[in-house]
Amino acid sequence: MLLGAGLLAADAAPSARATGAESAVEPQPQLTGCIPKGTRYREHGSRGRRWVALTFDGGPTSQYTSKVLAQLRKEKLHVTFFIRGQFIKGHTGLLRQELADGHEFANHSYSHPHFPGSYEISRTTALIRKATGYTPCLFRAPYGSIDNALLSRVRSQHMLTIGWDVDSWDSLYDNVSKATIYSRVVERVRPGSIILMHDGEGSHKGTLQALGPILANLKRRHFEVVPVSKLLGLEQLTAH
């Protein structure tokens, strides 16, 4: 999507030096969304192949998102970022970098309330689309709190609700240790797992420290990290 000439400097895409683009992965087709299908709530994918999905909630943030991206770029891996709408302003450059690197977006509500209403959800989708041209087909409930009414609201907006079966505990309290996060993931991961991590508000130093060792462990055990849409067999849409 073309952006206006009046884009603020704080919203501009990060420079190559700031984002480590000199070591960027090969250009990816421009993702524009995905097509939801199947049951409206999923906590994992098929157990029949060694695919896992790594997900990051609550960003984008200046403090953590760019550092997560740098580690993923080094390993040439693609993940799913569950975007919190209220943090998009001032960070559209980070969103565009995520998309350029081949990652996908999902909706995590606007202000992170329990059981968000329809406007909380639709507002975030609209902001993601305006900033990047991408329309998410996946949603994650704040705090993982769901009921039938929320699942119905989300499905009416053409999205599936995504939970997880591996919680890294990286947002359980501030400064969760690298060791705790690492052990939570590597001891619980199975084929088809959806792994919950965070790049949003709070203190996630342990997340940054644990991410590299987690990725190395998954690689040694022949797990392939893929976006949630691929894990669930959803069709990805790309720009022509």
Each residue's pLDDT tens digit, 164-210: 999 999 999 888 999 999 999 999 999 999 999 999 988 999 999 99
Tell me whether residue 223 is in a domain: yes
Mean pLDDT of 10-39: 63
Count H helices and E strands in the chain, helices first. Answer: 8, 11
Classify burial at 175, counting beta carbons within 10 Å of its beta carbon; exposed 0-12, middle 13-18, buried 19 or more.
exposed
Tell me whether residue 39 is in a domain: yes
Each residue's pLDDT tens digit, 80-130: 999 999 999 999 999 999 999 999 999 999 999 999 999 999 999 999 999
Each residue's pLDDT tens digit, 211-232: 999 999 999 999 999 999 999 9
Tell me whether residue 70 is in a domain: yes
Q: What is the CATH number of the domain that holds 182?
A: 3.20.20.370
Residue 51 in contact with residue 189, Cβ under 8 Å? no
**Whether pLDDT at 2 is above 50:** no
**Whether pLDDT at 15 is above 70:** no
Domain that holds residue 142: 29-238
User: Quick one: which of 224, 218, 228 has its CA closest to 104?
Assistant: 228
CA dist 174 → 80, 107, 130, 177, 204 (Å): 23, 24, 32, 9, 7
Q: Among this protein's residues, is 57 annotated catalytic?
A: yes
Tell me whether residue 6 is in a domain: no
Number of domains in the chain: 1
Tell me whether residue 42 is in a domain: yes
Catalytic position from the list 11, 44, 57, 101: 57
Catalytic position from the list 78, 103, 112, 198: 198
Tell me whether residue 17 is in a domain: no
Backbone angles phi, psi at 92, to 5 degrees: -65, -25
Q: Among this protein's residues, is 147 annotated catalytic?
A: no
Tell me whether residue 114 is in a domain: yes
Strands 166-167 and 194-198: parallel
pTM of the model: 0.88
- Tell me what pLDDT residue 30 has: 85
